[in-house]
Structure 1
Amino acid sequence: EIGNPDQFIQAFRQIESSQYEMEKQIDALRPEFDDVAIESCETTIRTRLGCQIRCPNCGAKCDNPDLIHENHRSTEHIAMAFKGVMYHNINTPTLELCYQQLQTSSFILGSETFTPRRKYYEDRAPGWLDDLDSKFQNGALRSESYPPPEQRRAWMAVRNVLVAHYKMTDHTSYNNDMYPSSIRSLPSEYTPKWK
């Protein structure tokens, strides 16, 4: 039995009133929590995906982990032929990395010629310039004119498809020590089947 029913009823109403006020406060703050939660999710996704900018000549994805940055970089640039870059007039695949011959070779885009190739990056893609300058100075293959072995093998596997896709003229022959002919290339009409 309740000793003081009026006091009990009053205390119960206070609890009920407090709960109602708390629910109103929660409802008032819910949009703020939603905004913070959405922003947090978006930041997490952006951080996981990283920068979506790609090198304009080879297509290598920027792997700079900073959310906001002006200087892009990629640990591994790829042979420019994978993105359809070909030698002017002869249209053969450019099987070198972006930073190779950066200071000596020209880059022709439409009717514009950029000499040396570095000038293209200065004018059109300055965000990549520091990365390419660094690799031109210190990159493992900086003094060569060919990509690393795994990219050469990959090229031999997909070259027929890419030559056809980008309307290039394939090289008449490849150095078998550098580009193994034992690797069977996909046929030029190959189309990937996505599941």
Structure 2
Amino acid sequence: MTRDDLMAFCTAVLSRCDGDAEVCARDHRQALLRFANNQPIQHTDAATQEVRLRLRDGARYGEAQAGELELTAVDGLLARARQQMAVMPPDPEPLESAGPQALLGVTAWQADSTPAVFDAEARASAADALIAPARELGFKAAGICSAQSTVVDAQHQRLRPPGRRLQGGRAAQGSAARRRRSGRQ
């Protein structure tokens, strides 16, 4: 998954949230080659993905995590975070949300935003470079060549002033109408 893919995923998650929300998505890849007796013996590739969503409504917080970066799972993620927020007691000293922050991009890596790849061919080439000197000297080489890459994106939104709770439906409309009639704002 590229950085652009993660940014699009996080943006899509936030678009389904009402109020303060923070989402962090992570895609981690690991590639490995084991070699023994001057021969490659095992290639493995592993990938883990996770997303963490944190919602806030006034002094209440709710958080949920999932082990997949699929938009089809976002509704369940939101439901779990909202359910936790509904049953958690209010924080007696809630901290103010930091709000969105502009962070400088890292340009030292690949410009096309694709994560580093250590495919089977590259692993075999690296192992050959390690095995060749041992073979020339008549020794047997054994070891592991591995590489890891992690792509992370975190986004935050703040849609209302701090301290105001979300209200909806007829109860909120009736409450607003009563305040207008009584002259209060």
Q: Compute the TM-score of the two structures, normalised by the length of structure 1.
A: 0.22
TM normalised by structure 2 equals 0.23
| Relative contact order higher in (CA < 8 Å, ≥ 6 apart) | 2
Normalized per residue, which structure has more helix? 1
Q: Who wins on radius of gyration, i.e. which is larger? A: 1
